[in-house]
Amino acid sequence: MKKIALLFLVLAPFIACNKNDDNLTQQNSLVNISFQHSFDEELVNNTTFNTLQYTNAFGSELSLTKLRYLITNVTFTNQDGIATKVRDYQLVDVTENTGMFITGTSLPPGMYNLKMRFGFMESENNPGIYPDLNAASWNVPEMLGGGYHYMQLEGRYIDDSNETSIYAYHTISAVQNPGPENTREDTSIEIDLGTINVEGTTTTINVNMNISEWFKNPNIWNLNTLNGMLMGNYAAQKLMEENGQTVFSLGTVSGVQ
């Protein structure tokens, strides 16, 4: 009996440590981010594409036929200032219904600031280095500055002649002097979604893109004059950067105990 009691005394600290480690693991919350899309109050997904059912701030009736965009540097920062990057980049493709979720992040409960970026910042926007983006034809031609797209938004609209026309609202780094001697300016956008309460066993965060904001705030977008060839248009890219500041917002955040 003395030997058994002695053995228990030796093993007790290790058993306690294992239990504490298990409790620490159980305390973490599994955090999921869902990307959702709207046109003002109307929900948008690929089942709502190809129908002229939206009206932008200029008054043009339009449809969506393609929407995909790049999110980078998804980072949670706790109240002690410790940052946890959970994704370097994510191609969200609404057309194909892929890349709509970032899952599997484990964080201790608490308050976090959630930030991400629309597009690559210039230091990361190097041509040809991301095989999956190359395979997705996400590259920008060298004549237009190289690197990668931020967004491809396409559809049809009723023009000022009451005819159905095509638009291609593509965002990239703003390029001056398109051609071999071009210079490129960073027009990626930091998205600060504010404070998130991570709690429970699972926390789900919904991030919304309001597509209508690309066409109205602060610049009312006239598709009759700015409907295509925008990638090499420096002034247009700067207008898009301004409009993009209000496109993304935090939706619902829910925790499951």
The amino acid at residue 76 is F
pLDDT, tens digit, for every residue of 127-163? 999 999 999 999 999 999 999 999 999 999 999 999 9
pLDDT, tens digit, for every residue of 185-204? 999 999 999 999 999 999 99
Mean pLDDT of the chain: 91
pLDDT, tens digit, for every residue of 213-246? 999 999 999 999 999 999 999 999 999 999 999 9
225 vs 17: which has the higher pLDDT = 225
C-alpha 226/C-alpha 249 separation (Å) is 26
Query: Do 201 and 30 form a contact (C-beta atoms < 8 A)?
Result: yes
C-alpha 154/C-alpha 168 separation (Å) is 5
Which residues are within 8 A (CB) of 22 and not within 5 positions of it... i.e. 6 or more apart? none
Which residues are within 8 A (CB) of 105 and not within 5 positions of it... i.e. 6 or more apart? 30, 31, 32, 33, 76, 84, 86
Torsions phi, psi for 148 (to 5 deg): -130, 155
- 16 in a structural domain: no
pLDDT for position 4? 44
pLDDT, tens digit, for every residue of 67-114? 999 999 999 999 999 999 999 999 999 999 999 999 989 999 999 999
Query: Above 80 in pLDDT, residue 12?
Result: no
C-alpha 206/C-alpha 249 separation (Å) is 9
pLDDT, tens digit, for every residue of 23-78? 444 589 999 999 999 999 999 999 999 999 999 999 999 999 999 999 999 999 99
Q: Is pTM, for the whole model, over 0.85?
A: yes
Confidence of residue 22 (pLDDT cuts 50, 70, 90): very low
Confidence of residue 178 (pLDDT cuts 50, 70, 90): confident
- 47 in a structural domain: yes
In the chain, % helix, strand, coil (3-state, to 5) comes to 25, 45, 35
- 8 in a structural domain: no
- 109 in a structural domain: yes
pLDDT for position 1? 47
Query: Do 234 and 244 form a contact (C-beta atoms < 8 A)?
Result: no
- 78 in a structural domain: yes
Total domain count, the chain: 1
pLDDT for position 8? 43
Residue found by looking up tokens 């034809």 in the block = 137
- 11 in a structural domain: no
Q: What percentage of residues in the chain have a pLDDT greater than 70? A: 89
13 vs 62: which has the higher pLDDT = 62
As a whole number of angstroms, the longest Cα–Cα distance in the chain is: 98
- 18 in a structural domain: no
Tell me if residue 133 falls in helix, strand or coil: helix
Structural domain of 166: 27-256
C-alpha 134/C-alpha 116 separation (Å) is 22
Count of H-run helices and E-run strands, the chain:
3, 15
Could you check whether the bond before residue 218 is cis, i.e. omega within 30 degrees of 0? yes
Query: Do 68 and 91 form a contact (C-beta atoms < 8 A)?
Result: yes
Query: Above 90 in pLDDT, residue 14?
Result: no
The amino acid at residue 61 is E
Residue 116: name the closest of 217, 194, 187, 214 by CA: 194
- 227 in a structural domain: yes
C-alpha 241/C-alpha 232 separation (Å) is 14
